[in-house]
Amino acid sequence: MERNLTHIALFAALIAILGLVPKIDLAGGVPITAQSLGIMLCGTVLGAKRGALAVLLFLALVVLGLPLLSGGRGGLGVFTGPSVGYLVGFPLAAFTAGWVVERTTLPLGIAATAGAVIGGIGVLYLFGIPGMALVLGKSLPEAAFLGMAFLPGDLIKAVLAGLITRGLAQMRPGSVLSRA
Amino acid sequence: MLTLTSPIETPLHRLPAGAKLAALCVTTVALFALTSPLALGTALAVVAALYLANGRAFALQGLRLLRPLWPFVLVVALWHLWTGALADGAATLMRMIAAVAAANLVTLTTRLSDLMAVLERLTAPLARLGLSPRTLSLAVALVIRFVPVLLDRQARLSEAWSARSPRRPGWRLLVPATLATLDDADRVAEALRARGGIG
């Protein structure tokens, strides 16, 4: 019980700092913010249930007015803005990513990347794009076109989520709770 | 760590948090039901007036909080200039800015402790599923305490990398950072158990 609570709380904090650390430079100098990588890692490392709860806790703190979203955003305003769909999709994205890692017998790195793609991109866009369509007054295809701007960065993050999850299992077997 | 609550005291600070949140829900639903540019323009003017009524400094603070919206404003504006549906574009922009500004107004004028109390009331029915309000408060406190701790460690990992390599650290630091977070979670869980647990 205590262990579940502290893992959920500390991973919520991890999502927050991944949005606060200004940026991560990829080889080639492309800057991306890592917040959605944090969402993916919650699922692939903690597993479906704990991962989704960590993301919900993170969102609760954003609702409470802490500036924890990337770029120092926070408060209730982000839930009435264009990103609302992505925020709603965050917990389900983490749940799906964790579910894929838990339920498949693929090698961990591949399972985590697949989970991050299905959850952190597929499920997330399923919510994010209609949200953007609603707030920006666009049709779904138009909103999908705008949302594709994030796709290259998110694909890179999904691969990184796989590499990091595998790296954790190599450095400390048993540390990846979704497979423990 | 700072919250987004405004240090400038306004009469809105004294309204009960639950009432402000309910009003915000009604406002947001209404804004998304409205389509006429005139009605949405009026709504935006009312929100702007609420900010301005509390002084210049407060209004400027509100304006700064809208900064993340500007890229979207630019995209929508260009889009509608291109398609020629200018009234639609104006309505969309006014609705978006009014909705976000209204929500920010609640955030700016409501203290963390008051919102926390509302959150505890709303989640009280979850107690039967095993989530006691005390557990939720403890989780929130843990996150607030550990954000600076994790930031500090990230900085130290980054320095340690710079001492060894001329290249930038990049994503590789996230492996030790995540591992250390998992270790912290184990240690904090032990500390909680040693103090009687969260029962």
Q: What is the pLDDT of residues A140-157, one digit of tens each?
A: 999 999 888 889 889 999
* pLDDT given at position B132: 82
Checking if the pLDDT of B145 tops 60, the result is yes
In the predicted model, what is the mean pLDDT of chain B? Answer: 89
Strands A31-32 and A24-25: antiparallel
Q: Which residue segment(s) compose the domain that A97 sits in?
A: 2-179
Nearest-Cα residue of chain B relative to residue A26 = B170
- Give bridge partners of residue A31 from the DSSP assignment: A25
Find out whether B165 and A89 touch, Cβ atoms under 8 Å.
no
Q: What is the DSSP string of chain B?
A: ---S--SS--GGGGS-HHHHHHHHHHHHHHHHH---HHHHHHHHHHHHHHHHTT-HHHHHHHHHHTGGGHHHHHHHHHHHHHH--HHHHHHHHHHHHHHHHHHHHHHHTS-HHHHHHHHHHHHGGGGGGT--HHHHHHHHHHHHHHHHHHHHHHHHHHHHHHHH-SS--GGGGHHHHHHHHHHHHHHHHHHHHHTT---
* DSSP at A109: H
* Chain A residues touching residue B92 (CB < 8 angstroms): 136-137
* pLDDT given at position B54: 93
* pLDDT given at position A16: 92
B122/B126 Cα distance (integer angstroms) = 9
* pLDDT given at position B199: 63
* pLDDT given at position A29: 43
- Phi/psi class of residue A4: alpha, beta or left (left: φ > 0; alpha: ψ in -120 to 50)? alpha
* pLDDT given at position A41: 96
Give me the mean pLDDT over the B141-146 stretch. Answer: 90
* pLDDT given at position B186: 93
Q: E strands of chain A, at which residues?
A: 24-25, 31-32
* pLDDT given at position B189: 94
Q: By mean pLDDT, which of A84-88, B19-23, B57-61, B124-128 is the weakest? A: B124-128
* pLDDT given at position A56: 96
* pLDDT given at position A32: 57
Give me the mean pLDDT over the B171-179 stretch. Answer: 89
Q: Nearest to residue A11, comparing CAs of A44, A60, A46, A36?
A: A46
B45/B63 Cα distance (integer angstroms) = 14
Give me the mean pLDDT over the B53-80 stretch. Answer: 90
Check CB contact under 8 Å for A164 and B188: no
B2/A173 Cα distance (integer angstroms) = 37
Token pair for A136: 């920006």
Chosen from A6, A171, A175 to mutate, greatest number of chain B CBs within 10 A:
A6
Nearest-Cα residue of chain B relative to residue A177 = B182
A80/B37 Cα distance (integer angstroms) = 19
Low-confidence ranges of chain A (pLDDT < 50): 26-31
Q: Which among A20, A25, A65 has CB closest to B115?
A: A65
* pLDDT given at position A103: 94
Give me the mean pLDDT over the B169-196 stretch. Answer: 90
User: What's A93's domain CATH number?
Assistant: 1.10.1760.20
Q: How many CB pairs under 8 A join A and B?
A: 197
Q: Which sequence spans correspond to the domains of chain B? A: 11-122, 132-194
Q: How many CB atoms lie within 10 A of CB B53?
A: 12
ipTM of the prediction? 0.90
B21/B184 Cα distance (integer angstroms) = 35
Check CB contact under 8 Å for B107 and A74: yes
Find out whether A78 and A90 touch, Cβ atoms under 8 Å.
no
Chosen from A76, A142, A145, A168 to mutate, greatest number of chain B CBs within 10 A:
A76
B101/B153 Cα distance (integer angstroms) = 35
A70/A64 Cα distance (integer angstroms) = 16
Residue A12 vs residue B6, higher pLDDT: A12
Q: Please tell me whether residue A167 adopts helix, strand or coil conformation.
A: helix
Stated length of chain A:
180
Q: Nearest to residue B65, comparing CAs of B110, B106, B101?
A: B101
Checking if the pLDDT of B131 tops 70, the result is yes
Question: For the segment B82-94, what is each residue's pLDDT rounded down to a tens digit?
Answer: 888 888 899 999 9
Find out whether B51 and B60 touch, Cβ atoms under 8 Å.
no
* pLDDT given at position B122: 87
Checking if the pLDDT of B169 tops 80, the result is no
A95/A113 Cα distance (integer angstroms) = 14
